[in-house]
Copies of this chain bind each other. A is one copy, B any other.
Amino acid sequence: MPKRVDHEERRRRIAEALWRIACARGLDRASLRDVAAEAGISLGQLQHYFSSKEEMLVFALRHISDLAARRVSKRIGALPGSPGPREVLRESLIEMLPMDADSRAGNLVQVAYFVRALHDERLRDNAQEGIPALRDFFAGQVRSGVERGEIAADRDPETEAMLLIALVDGLTAYTLLEVWSPEGALRLLDAHLDRLFTGRPPAGSGVPGVPAAGAGEPG
């Protein structure tokens, strides 16, 4: 099916054009025409795929999420041995931070979308849709940390998951603003994880302490 492959290729090219524009000057003032020009196609061709800027942003966001999810799997797969909940959380959270040009561009697309969603109920529903899955994934990791005695038993997994989601969002905003460097954001993230993974289970449970950050679990 050569035609179908061609469509996917073109959609990807459009997403990459959006990405470059997001990086260079932001999306809030970029039109469909600007994106078509950047992707090297006509406005009519672009409109074959997206009839509005909102549709294009939704597509770009999903494309970015897919890429990020694949990068997270790859990072976790590359950890030595079988990674514990701290490693899994840390790698996932790092992937959400603007640590390099690619993830910075992805974050800039998310910011552009966020701003539009603030004033558009339909977009807001869409912006909210990924949060429960992310919260559940993080909460599952926290629960596993509690079971392993790496996190105190009185921590509520859902609360900790939402605190992580909020924290990484704020770390991202100030990294984009260059209030601190990507490395500074990472240090803050590790400090927060240190407070979560105290390795001090409730008295009497006798579970051993938490391994150092990034040290990897025995396989």
Contact = CB atoms under 8 A, between A and B. Distances in A.
Interface string A108-133: 10011011011100001001100100
Contacts of A25: 119
Contacts of A167: 163, 166-167, 170
B178 A124 contact: yes
A169 interface: yes
Interface string A125-167: 0011001000000000000000000000000100100110111
Given A128-B177, A195-B195, A118 B26 contact: yes
Contacts of A68: none
A76 B165 CA distance: 29
A180 interface: yes
Contacts of A165: 170, 174
Interface residues of A, number: 39
A173 interface: yes
A79 interface: no
Interface in A45-86: none
A191 interface: yes
B118 A115 contact: no
A39 interface: no
Interface of A: 25-26, 28-29, 108, 111-112, 114-115, 117-119, 124, 127-128, 131, 156, 159, 162-163, 165-171, 173-174, 176-180, 187-188, 191-192, 195
Nearest to A24: B119
A166 B171 contact: yes
A155 to B, nearest CB: 8
A115 B111 contact: yes
B127 A177 contact: yes
B166 A170 contact: yes
Contacts of A169: 169-170, 173-174
A115 B180 contact: no
Contacts of A192: 163
Nearest to A25: B119
Given A131-B179, A188-B159, A26 B119 contact: yes
